[in-house]
Chains A and B, each alone.
Chain A
């Protein structure tokens, strides 16, 4: 075991898979010589060579499009999109090609591309370095969408993703790259070394795709969330004194419905939270699923919290971000409902 932050564990996942499988290649903007603007690929080019860790031109559509072609020709590409906010030029390649290739060829062709991309706000990045576009991908049949919330899961899930024959969009919440974040920007930053999930095996292991995790058991209410908000939700529950069960979705599509539904059947109350804009956000899918699965167990309407339905504003980042106050208010509302 070693202490790792999320950047190190993500790097380690690529390192381990590249070491085991010569077909794994990494490509993206600034990922090679420099090691990535967030340093996730630091050292990989020196170790595996310029033709396995490829500095790509600034063309997200080109990166994803060529990754698809490489995948069709037997490689296992891991493409980095520098910020999720810049994935849109590659969106057509994801939606029209990557997602459907297996389906339209009845399995004759497929491309096992993994797209890694940092997402989320909290770094004063304004509207073009803060977005959480996961719902644009969960809406696309054929794509597996993942968002880990800690170093251990990030590595295990990324190894599973790279080994998977299905195309995967792997979102990395950048605010928690260096340490868990409880939603209070005034507090000094904490590192992963004080967190149990900052303990990461150095070698190979996997975390299964499609499995949610109960990160904190509780009896009063279930909070279903993912990414940075896993940590914010815990702090918010503590603020209210409510014994909340916190479920980290981890894989958004396909969804681990049994884990989610069992928890809500037990607690009878549910709050769903994410950082992305609320309208048509992934929370809508979660709420609908819980309603379908658990209607007769619910003691209160399901509460849904997300970012406001505006672009991510630079100066009002902390008014926009669904922090402790908003989640705590949501928790109280669900608990007070008769």
Chain B
């Protein structure tokens, strides 16, 4: 030990020009972590917050106690969903690059998070997503064309032009509105879950934030309330290793995993291979079951990698090695589920390619349809006076007056 205090500054393991280095990432072999009963006491399952639940092994076989019951057909459908998310992201990214939408955020490399967790939840469960959960909206039935129209702020936009691209919501499908302000949805999920319990219903809530966002106070409020009232909620931390230019150590991930953040409050944590569809599904089901049976909250850390830029406004080559994703030890979730299905004899490279093309076409067809409702440059356009609606339930007089003034000025 030194004889003086010193300021520790977390340092990313590799920066541009350096060799990617994931030696900091502790992994457990697939199948090596026990699956406790859902009513286990938190103190008896603390290992789950530092080990890593994994089902798919190096040979792409599903092994161990967390291996869920899934038939090949269900897995093919799930793979299709993940591939749809990716195809959608690719197209929207291009569209932004062509200047046809103002902004976009993709979820490349993290598709298993939204899809596996959506599959594990029930339709009555309420989701409080972050901006990288487009898969949740799609899986729960939001049409591609409606997602696109939101990004276009056109006449079919669910947000009536009020929100930036990707800030979706879907009330009928129980997926909450995305906020631009990080982590604000976390306490909302807990409150929703408290209300569900208070009303005697068995719906649970789930929320998602990134590793970086765990530093916000709202994260800690959410955990505290969830623990005190044993709210039926699943709190997910999507640890994709990076916030924008800062790595997960800047959010405090250097010493203990994010999954361990709730232990002091008695909230069990599970650290899971976030690119292993089966493992993500299995731990989510475990946590959901526990919550539904009065066992309270679970904190799940999904270890994954942000395959793309933070957003279309970002250039990651300025702060991380270009080839880092390729070196990420947990690989690519789509590729891994594909190889698993192939190893089971239930899929093939040819089928995969065919499906990729089919999804590309599906997305392209949706894009063609979406543009019919208007683009940034071509009509039909939304009526600007819509901006004054919904500020309040009933429009107050001063807004009526401002709307009148705006219309007069625009004439």
Chain A residues within 8 Å of B, Cβ to Cβ: 29-30, 32-34, 37, 50-51, 54-62, 85-86, 88-89, 124-129, 278-279, 308-311, 313-316, 319-320, 325-326, 329
Contacts and interface: CB of A to CB of B under 8 A. Distances in A.
A320 B180 CA distance: 19
B179 A320 contact: no
Given A59-B217, A62-B215, A127-B162, A33 B15 contact: yes
B161 A29 contact: no
| Secondary structure dominating the interface of A | loop
A129 B243 CA distance: 18
B6 to A, nearest CB: 9
Contacts of B334: none
Contacts of B217: 59, 61-62, 89
Interface string B1-36: 000000101111001000000000000000000000
Contacts of A37: 244, 313
Interface string B295-317: 00000000000000000010000
Interface stretch (B259-267, B286-294, B382-390): B382-390
Interface residues of B, number: 48
Interface in B382-411: 382, 384, 386-388, 391, 398-399, 402, 406, 409-410
Nearest to A124: B102
Contacts of B167: 126
Interface centre among B103, B159, B164 (most CB of A within 10 A): B164
B251 A128 contact: no
| Secondary structure dominating the interface of B | loop
Given A58-B182, A59-B217, A89-B216, A313 B161 contact: yes
A50 B388 CA distance: 47
A85 B181 contact: yes
B28 to A, nearest CB: 27
A316 B384 contact: yes
B387 A310 contact: yes
A329 B215 CA distance: 47
B318 interface: yes
16 contacts: A29-B243, A30-B243, A33-B246, A50-B9, A55-B9, A58-B182, A58-B213, A59-B215, A60-B216, A85-B180, A88-B181, A89-B217, A127-B180, A314-B102, A315-B153, A329-B409
Nearest to A36: B245
